[in-house]
C-alpha cells in the first residue's frame, strides 16, 4: 500500500470509528452484506441521496432547522446527551438511517420499533410549561420534514448527481414511508408538498435558549480538534449557507446572501469532495449523518 493510500485508510478508519462507533465495519457488513429483501433498491433516489457525502452538510442543516421548534428542541435538550456524548448520538442516528435505507426489511423494522419504544418514554414540559411528548405525530412529522428538506437541499447543491424533478418527488415519497412507520401523519410525498409542509410549521417556530445553545454547540464548540476542526468548519459554513433566510435571525446566524452563494458553496464543495476521497465509497449514513431520531 502506498503512503497516500495508507494515510487515506487511516483517516477513513478514524472517521468511521468516531461517528459510527467502534463496530462500524461490522455494522456495514450487517447492513449491506446480509442477504434478504430491502425496502429500497440500489437505483432508488433515497439510496442515491443517503449515499452521498452531501449528507454531512444536510445533517447539520437539519439539526439547526429542527431546533427552531420549541417542543422538539425541549425534548432534545432534556432527554438527549448530545452535549456530553455527541458521537454516540451521531452513531445511533446514522445507523438508524442506514438500516432503514439499506438493510434487510427485518432489520429496518427492528430499527423503527426501537425508536418508537424510546419515543414513548420521552415526555416533559418546556420552561414555559408547555407539555410535549416525542411520539406526538405532529412533532414526528416536523422532525421528518426538516430532515428530508435538508438532505434534499444539500444533495441538490453539493451532491455528485443531483435529482431531477421526478426523482426528487420519488425521494420525498420513499422517505415518507419511513416517517409514517415512526408515527408521522400528513407526511409530504412530493417536493412541492415538502415545501408546503415547512411553510405550515413556520408559525410554530421560534428562537429559544435551547435552540441558541444547540446552534452555538454545533457551529462554534463542536467536539472536534486539529485538522478535523477545519473540515468541520467547512461543513458548518455550507449548512448555514443553505438554510432558509427566515431561519437565520432566530438562531442569531449571519444573513449574507452573496457570501452564501460564493464562499458557502465553495466550502460545501470542498468539504464533500474531501470526504469522498477519505471515505473511498463508504456510505455517509454510516459515518456521521445528523438528525433528531
User: Are residues 31 and 210 in contact, defined by beta-carbon separation less than 8 angstroms?
Assistant: no
The answer to whether the CB of 252 falls within 8 A of the CB of 220 is: no
Strand partners, 168: none
Among the listed ranges 10-14, 112-116, 143-147, 153-157, which one has the minimum average pLDDT value?
10-14
- The answer on pLDDT for 5 being more than 70 is no
Compute the distance between CA of residue 108 and CA of residue 115 in angstroms, rounded to an integer: 11
| pTM for the full predicted model | 0.89
- DSSP for 235-293 reads HHHHHHHTS-GGGTGGGT----HHHIIIIIHHHHHHHHHHHHHHHTT--GGGS------
> Rounded to the nearest 5°, which phi and psi values hold at 8?
-60, -40
Say whether pLDDT at 242 is over 90. yes
Element (H, E) at 274: helix 265-279
| pLDDT tens digits, 213-237 | 999 999 998 877 777 788 889 999 9
- pLDDT for 286: 41
Give the pLDDT band of residue 11 (cuts 50, 70, 90): low
Q: What is the pLDDT of residue 111?
A: 96
* Across 110-124, average pLDDT: 96
Amino acid at each position: 500500500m502506498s503512503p497516500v493510500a495508507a494515510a487515506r485508510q487511516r483517516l477513513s478508519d478514524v472517521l468511521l470509528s468516531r461517528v459510527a462507533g467502534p463496530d462500524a465495519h461490522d455494522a456495514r457488513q450487517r447492513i449491506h452484506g446480509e442477504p434478504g429483501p430491502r425496502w429500497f433498491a440500489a437505483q432508488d433516489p433515497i439510496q442515491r441521496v443517503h449515499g452521498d457525502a452531501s449528507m454531512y452538510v444536510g445533517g447539520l442543516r437539519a439539526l439547526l432547522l429542527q431546533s427552531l421548534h420549541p417542543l422538539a428542541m425541549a425534548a432534545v435538550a432534556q432527554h438527549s446527551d448530545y452535549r456530553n456524548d455527541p458521537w454516540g448520538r451521531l452513531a445511533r442516528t446514522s445507523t438508524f438511517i442506514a438500516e432503514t435505507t439499506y438493510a434487510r426489511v427485518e432489520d429496518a423494522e427492528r430499527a423503527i420499533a426501537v425508536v418508537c419504544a424510546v419515543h414513548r418514554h420521552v415526555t416533559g414540559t418546556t420552561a414555559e410549561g408547555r407539555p410535549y411528548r416525542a411520539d406526538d405525530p405532529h412533532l414526528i412529522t416536523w422532525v421528518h420534514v426538516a430532515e428530508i428538506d435538508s438532505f434534499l437541499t444539500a444533495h441538490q447543491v453539493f451532491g455528485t448527481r443531483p435529482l431531477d424533478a421526478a426523482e426528487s418527488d420519488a425521494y420525498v415519497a420513499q422517505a415518507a414511508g419511513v416517517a409514517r412507520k415512526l408515527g408521522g401523519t400528513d407526511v409530504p410525498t412530493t417536493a412541492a408538498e415538502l415545501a408546503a409542509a415547512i411553510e405550515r410549521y413556520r408559525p410554530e417556530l421560534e428562537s429559544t435558549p435551547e435552540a441558541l445553545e444547540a446552534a452555538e454547540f454545533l457551529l462554534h464548540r463542536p467536539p472536534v480538534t486539529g485538522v478535523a476542526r477545519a473540515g468541520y468548519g467547512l461543513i458548518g459554513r455550507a449548512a448555514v449557507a443553505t438554510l432558509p433566510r427566515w431561519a437565520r435571525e432566530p438562531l442569531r446566524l449571519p444573513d449574507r446572501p452573496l457570501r452564501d452563494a460564493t464562499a458557502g458553496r465553495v466550502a460545501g464543495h470542498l468539504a464533500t469532495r474531501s470526504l469522498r476521497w477519505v471515505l473511498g465509497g463508504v456510505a455517509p449514513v454510516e459515518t456521521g449523518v445528523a438528525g433528531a431520531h
